[in-house]
Structure 1
Amino acid sequence: MEIQTPKTNQLRKVLGVAFGLAVVVGSTIGVGILRTPGTIATLIPNATLIMCCWVSIGLYIILAASSYAELTTMFPKAGGAYNYIKIAFGNYLGFVNGWFDFLTNAIAPAYFCIVLSEYSILMFPELASTKTTIAVSFLTFFTAINLPGIKSGSFIQKITSAIKVVLFLILIIGCFLFQPTGQIPVQQTMITGGLMLGIFKALQLIMGTYDGWMSVSFFAEEDNNPNKNIPKSYLLGALTIGLLYVLINGAILYVLPIEAIAKSPLAASDAANAAFGGWSGTLMTAVAIFSLVSILNAYMMIPSRILFGLGRDGFFIKQSTIVNQGGTPYYSLIMCYVFALVLTVSSSFEQLFGLATIMMTLVTGFAFASLIRLRHTQPDFPRPYKTFGYPFTSYLALAVTIALFIAFAVSDVVSLSIMVVIMALSYPAYKLFVKPNNNDTFD
């Protein structure tokens, strides 16, 4: 595809609240919400406690979204959290967190393409021998959609996210309209040490289903009115996801007994089968596919914006800042495509995703710390939006994030070790890319 009059540092300001809401919902709600209820019911065999866990994390995400909204409106730049971390803690920590953020998000498209290929094979078993080809085809197709410009990617994001929400609402309404036969038993459980450990593990799983809630931050520079649109996108997105997650779990618990949910690897599918009968398979396949397609499209756009921001700040090669007429960081997208292609073909993601989780938690923690630090060091800097409940809410969000990081580090020593090695190697890379006169400035 020909690039017309390539320029640097000129993303197009054409996005609004509709896209912001679509990218938050689209990049967050996925197959995880369909799979986790069974595991969580095994860890916490009590319906009330399960719902309390989902509500608690939903409230945490709303607090986190409010904090991110303050930071993003202060610095409405492409690239996400590293912009705030760089200003608050200096170039080196900005550099490290920017690359951690990139790796976390650039791994995702490969995984989603693999899973989409698996669902395609479930629908068409005769394609089983072409699993890798199908995955690469999805990756190539969605890269091609986003190459011409931001408008094409934005349109696909809004459409697929809307369809996904509608399908989930059909599932929820159908379950609540279903009349369970007989009294569903509710198991009463004593609060024991083992149960408390189960609650902590369940909260970790629930946090995983919310990954993507901060997606607005990557596109802040392309918003046509960031001061107004970004807070609305964050808070409406967090509220929408939280309500859907609570309703989905409530629907599953309404239709199925705890014992049945705990034994099911895909409890949402079992609930749909009880409510819809023969239509359940078609509905759940559609829900899964549109969930994945919407997420894949979002994650084809996100990593290229991180590379664009890193390149502009001198943290990567200058070519990453080249933007085509449609507003796409053209070369950054191609580099992300090649990176994801290698992972898709190699299909070795288990350790990478464990690593991605711990890196994302670290970046999020530094982002919350940036808000607190900037409140002290730059109290007069313009803040078009201020997080509600400060300082309590921001300190709470930071404390919860630190606790989650410690939990991930203890439970996954291998990923922690890899992250430490990456950090050790990051300083020579920082010296290679960053010029001595690249000072921290407010701009």
Structure 2
Amino acid sequence: MSGQLGKRLGLPFAIAVCIGLVVGTGIMRTPGEIANMVPDPATVMLLWLAGGLYVLLMANVAAEISSAIPRSGGHYIPVREGLGDAMGLLVGWTMWIAGVAATAFLAIAAAEFFGLIVPAAADHEAIVALIILCGVTALNWAGVEEGRWAQIASTALKLALLLAVVFVALMMPDGESAGEIAAPAASSGIPAEPLSIITVLAGLQFIVTVYDGWYASIYFAGEDKDPGRNIPRSLFQSAIVVTFIYLAINWALITALDFETLRASTLPMAQVIEAATGRWGTLVVAVIAVLMALGTLNAAIMMNPRTLFGMAEDGLFLKTALSVNRGGTPTVALALGFIVAVPLIFSGGYVFVFRLVGAMILFASCLFVLSYFALRVRQPDLERPYRAKGHPVLPALVLLINFALLASFVIAEPFSGAIMAGMIAICIPVGLYLQRQRRLAAKAEKLVSS
């Protein structure tokens, strides 16, 4: 069967996949890293709040364009519709490559934490990661229903576990007690960088990355039973939940741990649980981290094939990517993601790919918002179940934020900026060529029919 994605999904899944893709192992490590980059508790909390506000601003744009064009494919769909084949091709490839790299990273992360639970597995990290990747891929190969329920259950479980950690941290009798347990880690005395615009921007850029994945439900718009209602609701509701969770976690850690201890910690949650239980902190956090990585991996594996499917529908990828099994899974597109992820796991190449696409993801976000303005101009009569609030001020504001983050990233990572320019240079002529070929084919078909 090809070219058919069933209307099987609803609001619970849409919310679960957004939260599930955002809330992963990153929140286990980043509170300490952010505290070290921006060594002021109040500023740290404000930056995490700013990250949530950024997501809400982006959701305001995404809710309009993805509910107005309810096709599965994510960022690619409105960018290609509003800005043409060349930019659509660029965004589609960028998001797919980033997604595949993410699956390799998440499988490795799950294997790494699993090695803390079962020490014998620590010496075979890549093999364990491959087994994990195979298992989650097989689950989604079976069908969308299996992936949907796995996502809802895993998201509910990870939220419950994180709230439990927050509760334990807030019940600590004295933040100093946790600091005393972690004293050796903090005793090295990490010198604090002076608070400045540069450090704040660096921290915000890092936090925006931790919030990445907020858009997951738009990749399934064509499979949602009521995309006009469910896509906007899922984007806003999940953004609010994630912002609350991230603020609660950071507030709890700042409260439970001495701030200098938090700055020095690579796994602050483990220190909190260790302070509460006496010795089980690392093991408990490892179990939580494995479960969180598996939930995020499931979301990524479900999402990635939709990009190739959307591109194939428009003739920008192989038509075989339209193959869909009885369970509603794009099997060829799913298999291609698996095939590319496996060598990344064994080579460690996902780290290189992540650095490479960091600027590209920000560039894709800029094009995504630009497509909103393009669609407003080119298709003013398009039915829009949700219309972005504060037009044009709020969409323009988030566009400026994305450009600022992109510029700061390229300045910090000039190599990534050069690669981005190279990808644009390749995609533009390819996209224009494919667009021209389709126009010629359409004219020929019209002449034959007449």
Would you call these one fold, judging by a TM-score over 0.5?
yes
Moved more, 421-430 or 161-170: 421-430
Following TM superposition, by how much is the alpha carbon of 1:202 offset from its aligned partner in structure 2, in angstroms? 0.8
1:294 aligns with 295
> 1:64 offset after TM fit, Å?
0.9
Deviation at 1:130, TM superposition (A): 2.1
Name the CA shift for 1:277/1:318 in 2 (closer, same or farther; >3 Å).
same
The equivalent of 2:398 in structure 1 is 397
Question: C-alpha distance in 1, partners of 2:178/2:299?
Answer: 40
Compute the displacement of 1:376 (Å).
2.7
| Residue 257 of structure 1: how far off its partner (Å) | 1.8
Taking structure 2 as the reference length, the TM-score comes to 0.91
| Residue aligned with 1:345, SS | helix
1:162-193 CA distance string (max 9 Å, x none): 100000000011111221166999xxxxxx97
- Following superposition, the deviation at residue 306 of structure 1 comes to 0.4
Distance 1:183 1:35 in 2: 21
Matched with 1:218 is: 219
Instruction: Between 118-127 and 98-107, report the one with greater CA deviation.
Output: 118-127
Show structure 2 runs of 5+ residues with no match.
Answer: 180-192, 443-450
Equivalent of residue 7 in structure 1, options 2, 12, 15: 2
Please give the alpha-carbon distance, in whole angstroms, between the structure 2 residues aligned to 1:125 and 1:286. 13
The answer as to whether partners of 2:39 and 2:195 remain within 8 angstroms in 1 is no
Instruction: Find the residue that maps to 1:213 and give its secondary structure.
Output: coil
TM-aligned CA distance change 1:275 to 1:393, over 3 Å: farther
Aligned ranges for residues 96-135 of structure 1 at < 5 Å? 96-135=90-129
Q: Which runs of 4+ in 1 moved over 4 A?
A: 181-185, 431-435
Matches within 5 A, 1:185-264: 194-264=195-265
Structure 1 residues 118-127 or 93-102, which shifts more? 118-127
Between Structure 1 and Structure 2, how many residues are aligned? 429
The alignment yields a C-alpha RMSD, in angstroms, of 2.1
Q: Is the 8 A contact 2:114 2:286 kept in 1?
A: no
Deviations 1:331-388 (Å, cap 9, x if unpaired)? 1111111011121122222221112221111111111111122223322211100122
Label 1:239 to 1:438 Cα distance change in 2 as closer, same or farther (>3 A): farther
Note the C-alpha offset of 1:129: 3.3
In the TM superposition, what are the counterparts of 1:235-384 in structure 2 within 5 Å?
A: 235-384=236-385
- The structure-2 alpha-carbon separation of the partners of 1:14 and 1:165, relative to structure 1 and needing over 3 Å to count, comes to same
Aligned to 2:29: 35
Give the Cα separation in 1 of the matches to 2:176 and 2:431.
64
Q: 1:252 to 1:330 in 2, by over 3 A?
A: same
Q: 1:76 aligns with which of 70, 77, 101?
A: 70
Tell me what 2:190 maps to. Answer: none
The 1-side partners of 2:319 and 2:208 are apart by 36
Give the residue type in structure 2 aligned to 1:163: L
Identity score, percent:
31
SS in 1 for 2:92: helix
* Cα distance in 1, alignment partners of residues 421 and 39 from structure 2: 37
Structure 2 partner of 1:385: 386
Q: Superposed, which structure 2 residues align to 1:141-156 within 5 Å?
A: 141-156=135-150
Secondary structure of 1:80's match?
coil
- Offset of residue 268 of structure 1: 2.4
CA distance in 1, matches of 2:353, 2:166: 33
For residues 38-61 of structure 1, what are the alpha-carbon distances to aligned partners after superposition, in whole Å with 9 as ceiling and x for unaligned? 122122221111111111111111
The 1:420/1:142 distance shift into structure 2, 3 A limit, reads same
Looking at structure 1, the residues matched to 114 and 287 of structure 2 have their Cα atoms a distance apart, in angstroms, of 11
Structure-1-length-normalised TM-score: 0.92
Tell me, in whole angstroms, the C-alpha distance in 2 between the residues paired with 1:184 and 1:277. Answer: 10
